[in-house]
Structure 1
Amino acid sequence: MQLHTTTWGSGDRVALLVHGILADHRTWRRVGPALAERGYRVVAVDLRGHGASGRAAGPAGYTPQDYADDLVETLPAGAELAIGHSLGGLALATAVERLAPHRAVYVDPAWHLPEGDAGYRPELFILAKSLTREHIRQFNPRWPDEDLDIEVDSARLWDERSAHGLVPFVGKDLLPAHPAVPSLLMLADPSMLLSPEQARVLEERGFHVRTVAGAGHTIQRDDFDGFMSALDGWI
């Protein structure tokens, strides 16, 4: 599927941005321009079922492989930098060998979907479609007002069937065996998706690991300055 894209800047270097579940390219509204100021042409996608991109025929069309195939079909290979957040980090890791960026950054990636009542439950994500701006503020008190408005709108646009597409992967080990390209793993504090033990395993496998102190899962919205600082040496 050819995805909807948004571009910032016109630099010689290319950066790719891939958002997480429920979101769209607007989650990068500050990151895109910041990278453009550093000389990148920044291309952000709307994943299938999100934003202005197309929808799959049903839940079975929303697997990590589907998301990855879309990235390969839509984005240029050989970019200088690729960044994926949450579901976008899972999609990017699945596509990274084919996209072959020079460097990859995985922001609190969905490489482990926990089981049980406190684990991954599609119905909880679907409830987000009915959350008000004030509900979102309660969960994300550090977000700027514009991000609250964007979250309400992106949840409204999101195809809720995509939440069910990840159910077969709950409890599976989705951690990459090795970094296909030089890779930074940027974690929230604490990460909801990767335990300290899993972070240590990934570091042993060759990933550079940095934690943004006090930041929530959507680090780029929760602590933009901390997010950009964590990219030092990678952009």
Structure 2
Amino acid sequence: MQLHTHTWGEGDRIALLVHGIMSDHRTWRRVGPALADRGYRVIGVDLRGHGASGRGDYGPREFADDLVESLPAGAELAIGHSLGGLALSLAVDRLRPARAVYSDPAWHLAAPEEGFGPELFAQFKSATREQVAQLNPRWEAADVAVELATLAAWDEATALCLAPLSGTDLLPATPVVPSLVQLAGPSFLIDEARAALLTGRGFEVRTVEGAGHTIHRDDFDGFMSSLTGWI
């Protein structure tokens, strides 16, 4: 599926941004311009079932295949958050960016008995402004507004398709390209044991202490600082 994209900047280098579940390219409202200021042409994508992209069958492979169909190969940088990190990891061997950053990637999908299964994401479709703000006290008002807009444009079936993978680990066996795993502090997706496993497999792992899952909205300065040497 050809996906909807949004571009910031006109630089000679290309950076790709892949959002997480429930969101779309608008989640990168500060990151896109910041990378453009560094000389990148930044392409943010809407995954299928999100934003202005089409609907269809949902699953990690479909998300990954869409990235390959919609984005240029050989970019200087690719960043994927949460579900976008999972999709990027399944497409990276074909997209072949010079560097990949996985921001709190969805490589461990919790089962309901672990407290936060995919079904709970689907229920968040009807969240109110007050609920979003309460769950994300560090967000700017503009990010709360973006979240409400992206929820309205989101097909919650994208969350339900992940239910069969609940309780499983999807950690890559090896970094296909030089890769940074950027974690929230603490991360509910990648615990210390999994972080150590990733380090042993050749990934660089950095934690933005005190930041929640959506690091780039919880602590934008911390997010950008943790990318030192990668952007």
Shorter-chain TM range is over 0.9
Q: 1:125 aligns with which of 121, 128, 137?
A: 121
Question: Where do 4+ consecutive residues of structure 1 move more than 4 Å?
Answer: none
Q: 1:170 aligns with which of 166, 172, 187?
A: 166
**Structure 2 gaps, min length 5:** none
Deviation at 1:119, TM superposition (A): 4.1
Say how many residue pairs are matched.
Answer: 231
SS for the counterpart of 2:121 is: helix
**Structure 1 gaps, min length 5:** none
SS for the counterpart of 1:188 is: strand
Deviation at 1:130, TM superposition (A): 1.3
Give the partner amino acid of 2:90: T
Q: 1:94 aligns with which of 90, 93, 99?
A: 90
**What's the counterpart of residue 144 of structure 1?**
140
Within 2, Cα distance between the matches of 1:4 and 1:74? 8
Give the partner amino acid of 2:65: D
Deviation at 1:115, TM superposition (A): 1.7
Is 1:234 the equivalent of 2:230?
A: yes
Within 2, Cα distance between the matches of 1:24 and 1:226? 21
TM-score (ref. length: structure 1): 0.96
Within 1, Cα distance between the matches of 2:26 and 2:205? 26
**What's the counterpart of residue 135 of structure 1?**
131
Bigger Cα displacement from structure 2, 221-230 vs 151-160: 151-160
Within 2, Cα distance between the matches of 1:47 and 1:206? 28
Within 1, Cα distance between the matches of 2:137 and 2:82? 20
Give the partner amino acid of 2:160: H
Is 1:28 the equivalent of 2:28?
A: yes
Answer yes or no: is the 8 Å Cα contact 2:110–2:117 preserved in 1.
Answer: no
TM-score (ref. length: structure 2): 0.98
Is 1:116 the equivalent of 2:109?
A: no
SS for the counterpart of 1:117 is: helix
Root-mean-square deviation over aligned CA pairs: 0.9
Answer yes or no: is the 8 Å Cα contact 1:113–1:119 preserved in 2.
Answer: no
